[in-house]
Amino acid sequence: MKASPQAQLKLLELADLDAELGRLDHRRRTLPESQEYERAQARNAELRGELATLEAQQSDLERDQSKAERDVDQVRTRIERDRARLDAGLVSSPKELENLQSEIVSLARRQSDLEEVVLEVMERLEEVSGRRTTVAGEQAALTGQLEEIAARRDAALAEIEEESGKASDSRAGIAAEIPDDLLGLYDRLRAQHTVGAAALNRGRCEGCHLSLNKVDLGRIRAAPPDEVLRCEECRRILVRADELSS
């Protein structure tokens, strides 16, 4: 393939811009702010899950508490009724009297057990609602952090986007000055090797960083300036930067 030395030198500018675009793309994909945001979001989902569990626990406990309190009330009412019967002197048979007194004793024991249950449930409720307050507080703080991280991430992305836009514009301008066949070869090589063209400096290919042997160097020196050369090692287009620009 033949191409003017100017067109060949343009390939090096194109390769620089492609490297720049590659770096920007890498930065975009590995942005620390994006990773930070994802971590914060994962934590947020955890907290949301924990809050849902705590809310369910709290409502279960509140139901348990009402039930236990209703049970206490029922037993207390029965005790009061029994005592009223005793006090009114309505029970005359000694057997019946004895039964009533022992019922009051066992009801009193039952009442004390149920009151114990109420206290236990209230303690659990206090724990759960305390934990809920803590988790809700952490989540509220995290919501603020998420907004702050998203703002930093978006600013970094916008900056990358702007640089990337500039590099793309420059690339389009330079590509327009390169003949189609040479540009086609460059793009094919770039797709295969990431870099499509490299400079030859002091006998060394700047693409693969290998020094060319004397035979290859001799062949390159003998080649006319408009001959498009390739590195024998990495197959990239080898641009004789020093010779062609002088």
Q: Interface residues with Zn ion (CB under 5 A)?
A: 205, 207-208, 231, 233-234
CB of 205 to Zn ion, least distance (A): 3
CB of 206 to Zn ion, least distance (A): 8
CB nearer to Zn ion: pick between 104 and 198? 198
Query: Could you give the residue ranges of the DSSP H alpha helices within the chain?
Result: 5-29, 32-87, 94-175, 180-193, 214-222, 241-245
The b-or-e profile of 108-125 (16+ CB within 10 A means b, else e) is eebbeebbebbeebeebb
| Positive or negative: CA dihedral 222, 4, 243, 16 | negative
CB nearer to Zn ion: pick between 27 and 219? 219
CB of 231 to Zn ion, least distance (A): 3
CB nearer to Zn ion: pick between 50 and 233? 233
Measured CA angle at 145 (ends 141, 147), to 5 deg: 120
CB of 207 to Zn ion, least distance (A): 4
CB nearer to Zn ion: pick between 104 and 231? 231
CB of 15 to Zn ion, least distance (A): 12
Tokens 């400096």 found at = 201
DSSP string spanning 135-163?
Answer: HHHHHHHHHHHHHHHHHHHHHHHHHHHHH
Question: What residues form DSSP beta bridges with 227?
Answer: 2
Do 114 and 72 meet the contact criterion of CB atoms below 8 Å apart? yes
**What φ, ψ does residue 226 adopt, rounded to 5°?**
-90, 5
Do 25 and 206 meet the contact criterion of CB atoms below 8 Å apart? no
Tokens 């990431």 found at = 194
CB of 177 to Zn ion, least distance (A): 24
Structure tokens at 54: 């705590």
CB of 12 to Zn ion, least distance (A): 13
CB nearer to Zn ion: pick between 60 and 233? 233
CB nearer to Zn ion: pick between 121 and 200? 200
CB nearer to Zn ion: pick between 104 and 182? 182
